[in-house]
């Protein structure tokens, strides 16, 4: 079970969505909206929630084999100095956040996960993926990304016949990958 999401803050901030109440009402519950509006940096708070929801959505969809849905409001975020988790129905996902001036990265998984955010720099996405997996597996002659009917990705390499789960996220100038450590 794995899910990750990256937000390019330059791109996200340009939309000034935290000032758009109709937008907020489509993606956030009342308490999240309150927390965004009370924040010193409402835009950062909104996109942190979004990244948390999106990474939990990916993990939840994978773990429950669910069909795709656009239901960000159903994923409730709990975020304070010592908590970062998302609740959906009876499931709770603990979230790891990495926030820089350029991006927000959110990830969740059962057990330890390995993740990395790359700047695209016009490189094809397969080059970035190869670089990510090289750090874990060494030289790789062949990588294939497969997506199931619900769009959930897995990767396979020549050396291994078994498909391994991977979570992939692109936004603006960034691409992020995450995989469960147990698969390395």
Partner 1 sequence: MSETEIILKIKKIVEPYVQRLEGLNNFREETDFLKDLQINSANLVDVVLDVEDEFNIEIDNESMEGMLTVGDAKQIIQRKLNTN
Which residue in 9, 155, 171, 177 binds partner 1 (CB under 8 A)? 171
Query: Which one of 34-42, 71-79, 95-103, 121-129 is the stretch in contact with partner 1 (CB under 8 A)?
Result: 71-79
Please report whether residue 68 would count as binding partner 1 according to CB under 8 A.
yes
Closest to 126 in 3D by CA, of 137, 140, 138: 140
Q: Which is nearer to partner 1, 2 or 6 (CB)?
A: 6
Q: Which residues contact 142 (CB under 8 A, 6 or more apart)?
A: 157, 158
Among 2, 6, 9, 12, binds partner 1 (CB under 8 A): 12
Q: Rounded CA gap, 80 and 59, in Å?
A: 22
What backbone torsions phi and psi does residue 180 show, to the nearest 5 degrees?
Answer: -65, 140
| Residue 122 in the binding site for partner 1 (CB under 8 A) | no
At residue 102, the 3 state secondary structure works out as: coil
**In the bound complex, what is the minimum distance in angstroms from residue 7's beta carbon to partner 1?**
8
Region from 67-75, 84-92, 124-132, 175-183 binding partner 1, contact rule CB under 8 A:
67-75
Count the residues of the shown chain that bind partner 1, applying the rule CB under 8 A.
Answer: 17
Least distance between partner 1 and beta carbon 72 (Å): 7
Rounded distance, CA 85 to CA 53, Å? 9
- Measured between alpha carbons, how far is 61 from 130 in angstroms, rounded to an integer? 25
Interacting span for partner 1 (CB under 8 A) from 72-80, 93-101, 114-122, 136-144: 72-80
For partner 1, the binding residue among 23, 125, 130, 140 (CB under 8 A) is 23
- Of 68 and 146, the one with the shorter C-beta distance to partner 1 is 68
Rounded Cα gap, residues 74 and 48, in angstroms: 16
Stretch that binds partner 1, among 16-24, 77-85, 101-109, 110-118 (CB under 8 A): 16-24
Three-state secondary-structure class, residue 33: helix
* Cα distances (Å, whole numbers) of residue 70 to 26, 27, 54, 157, 174: 10, 9, 10, 32, 23
Coil vs helix vs strand at 97: strand
> With contact defined as beta carbons under 8 Å apart, do 105 and 6 qualify?
yes
Binding interface with partner 1 (CB under 8 A): 12, 17, 22-23, 26-27, 50, 54, 68-74, 151, 171
């Amino acid at each position: 079970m794995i899910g990750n999401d990256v937000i390019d803050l330059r791109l996200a901030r340009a939309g000034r969505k935290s000032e758009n109440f109709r937008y907020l009402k489509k993606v956030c519950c009342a308490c999240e909206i309150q927390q965004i509006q009370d924040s010193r940096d409402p835009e950062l708070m909104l996109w942190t929630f979004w990244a948390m929801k999106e990474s939990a959505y990916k993990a939840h969809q994978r773990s429950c084999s669910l069909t795709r849905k656009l239901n960000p409001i159903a994923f409730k975020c709990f975020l304070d100095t010592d908590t970062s988790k998302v609740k959906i129905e009876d499931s709770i996902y603990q979230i790891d956040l990495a926030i820089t001036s350029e991006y927000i990265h959110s990830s969740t998984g059962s057990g330890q996960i390995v993740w990395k955010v790359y700047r695209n720099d016009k490189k094809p996405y397969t080059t970035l993926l190869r670089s990510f997996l090289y750090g874990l597996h060494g030289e790789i002659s062949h990588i294939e990304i497969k997506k199931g009917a619900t769009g959930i990705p897995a990767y396979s390499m020549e050396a291994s016949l078994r498909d391994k789960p991977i979570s992939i996220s692109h936004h603006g100038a960034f691409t992020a990958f995450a995989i469960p450590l147990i698969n390395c």
